[in-house]
Amino acid sequence: MSQDTAIVWFRRDLRLSDHPALTRALNHEAVVCVYIDDPKREGEWPLGQASRWWLAQSLATLDQSLQARGNRLLVYSGDSTSVLTQLIEAHQARAVYWNRVYEPSPREYDATLKDHLKTKYAGDALHVESFKAQLLKEPWEMLKKDHTPYLVFTPFWRHFQATWTAPLRLPAPDRIPAAPEVEGMVPTIDSAQLAPTHPWTEQLAQVWSPGWPHAQAQLSAFVDQGLSQYESARNRPDQAGTSSLSPYLHFGELSVGEVIRACDPSGEVPDEDNAVSFVREIVWREFSHYLLYYFPHIPSQPLKPVFNQFPWRSADEYAQDLADWKKGDTGVPMVDAGMRQLTATGWMHNRVRMVVASYLTKNLLIPWQEGARHFWDTLVDADLANNTQGWQWTAGSGADASPYFRVFNPTLQGEKFDPTGAYVRRWCPEHADRSAKQVHQPADHIDLKAQRQGALAAYAQIKKDR
């Protein structure tokens, strides 16, 4: 008689704690753990270079953790449906479990796959079930009284505060019984083969330690050392005031439930100011995923249709400015520092993300989609929902977006949030000798005032069309 085997399909939940699909699978006699590299499932948004580097490291770490528990991670490359079907057949599996994702393309794929499996293995032959693990609240649990989705953050946040309590954290299992190896189902690739070939990703290893155990360590370090000053330090790119959890959250090396619970072990929404301020940021992440769920076109199209009429410059016209922006060679210190931090580390402080995004879209009049695509390829925390939300917010085209006339002045932003100039000097050696008073002044050929007037004039055009 064959063993009662369950398959756990890992996707963006590369952890062993607080993992509903894995926990459910442990009710079976044996567990097959699988990851499938399948760019087609990602549609228009296959992983960028930095994400790919992170993923390769993280999968290798997950495999080690599984091996320490008597199991292993099988990594395949190819069509998800056919890999899973072959595994089901080979193991005569009784169940397939996975944790849900909310991006349009994989979500559509998963729905089709689920139907396909339920049809193919009708009756009780195969149990297929997906779980909530990526978000604190399902999008369909967070509707207004009229049953339409929220478009403004503050009411969404109030609803969240009023209705959320943390479920208990699911512990990481000590042992995960393996199924016997099956002929002909050899993993097609080693996780290392997922790593990108771009040489610049090599330096990422000097800054980041991907993987579930490091995620746990980073969370503890932040809660112990960073959280109590979060509110005052979080806007300071010259200090280590942020949590640095975003890449771990993207790949699910941490569950967001674990994060919020670590801030307040009672499981309630915290009431201490710094913790509230941090949890609010976590709920912004929630809101971003929520918006993408209800408005799947927003990675490429503005949420507010009037922005389709916006008079962006043409690609020919802005090509050089875009290249300079990517390189961190605009002549605006705060912008250049941010873009170079991005290239060097695969990450940029959020305050600076807003500054460089405002500069690209408003001062340079380059479409926000160009910036979003570049971030997608270079950020280790590249996340379709968060990235889309961030860019549309800055451009003024998104939900609850910054009003169109809100043009950041990179000099003033620098003086406010990098008062000594330490951040600029760190990333821009050419400014090393400039005083705190001078360090944020742009190069002579840049006229911030005129650029601002240009942005206001451009926005005025679509305002009159409304």
Contacting residues toward DNA, per CB under 7 A: 153, 281, 284, 350-351, 354, 402-403, 405-409, 412-413, 416, 448-449, 452, 456, 460
Beta carbon of residue 90, minimum distance to DNA (angstroms, whole number): 47
9 versus 278: smaller Cβ distance to DNA:
278
Would you say 113 or 354 has its CB closer to DNA?
Answer: 354
* CA dist., res. 263 & res. 270, Å (int): 7
Nearer to DNA by C-beta: 412 or 432? 412
Nearer to DNA, 91 or 304 (CB): 304
Pairing of the two strands 30-37 and 5-10: parallel
Give the other-Cβ count within 10 Å of 136's Cβ.
22
CB of 415 to DNA, least distance (A): 9
Chain-centroid distance, C-alpha 85 = 29
Question: Whose Cβ is closer to DNA: residue 40's or residue 416's?
Answer: 416
Question: Which is closer to DNA, CB of 156 or CB of 293?
Answer: 156
> Residue 253 Cβ, how far from DNA at the closest point, in Å?
22
Residue 173 or 442 with smaller CB distance to DNA = 442
Is residue 276 packed enough to be buried (19+ CB in 10 Å), middle (13-18) or exposed (0-12)? middle
H and E: helices and strands count for the chain: 18, 5
Task: State in angstroms the smallest separation of the CB of 252 from DNA.
Answer: 21
Alpha-carbon gap, residue 404 to 419, rounded angstroms: 27
CB of 404 to DNA, least distance (A): 8
Structure tokens of 106? 């994989």
Angle ∠(37,40,42) on CA atoms, nearest 5: 85
Contact 351, 413 (CB under 8 A): yes
Closest of 9, 233, 189 to residue 99, by C-alpha: 9
- Positive/negative CA dihedral, 129, 169, 209, 334: positive
Give me the least distance between CB of 139 and DNA, in Å please.
19
Residue 351: CB minimum distance to DNA, A = 7
Q: Tell me the C-alpha distance between 54 and 195, whole Å.
A: 8
Q: Which is closer to DNA, CB of 130 or CB of 394?
A: 394
- CA angle centred on 154, ends 153 and 157, rounded to 5°: 85
Residue 433 Cβ vs DNA, minimum distance, rounded to whole Å? 25
- Least distance from DNA to the Cβ atom of residue 267, Å: 24
Q: CB of residue 405 vs DNA: minimum separation in angstroms?
A: 4
How would you classify residue 70: left for phi > 0, otherwise alpha for psi between -120 and 50, otherwise beta? left
Alpha-carbon span 5 to 343, nearest angstrom:
44
Q: Are 326 and 339 in contact (CB under 8 A)?
A: yes
Contact 12, 52 (CB under 8 A): no
C-alpha span between 204 and 218 (Å, rounded) = 17
Q: Cβ closer to DNA: 93 or 249?
A: 249
Q: How far is the CB of 22 from DNA (least distance, A)?
A: 32
Which CB, 33 or 352, lies closer to DNA? 352
User: Residue 447: what are its φ and ψ, rounded to 5°?
Assistant: -115, 90
Q: Which helix (H) or strand (E) holds 21?
A: helix 20-25
Nearer to DNA, 51 or 402 (CB): 402
Output the six-digit token pair for 325: 């922006």
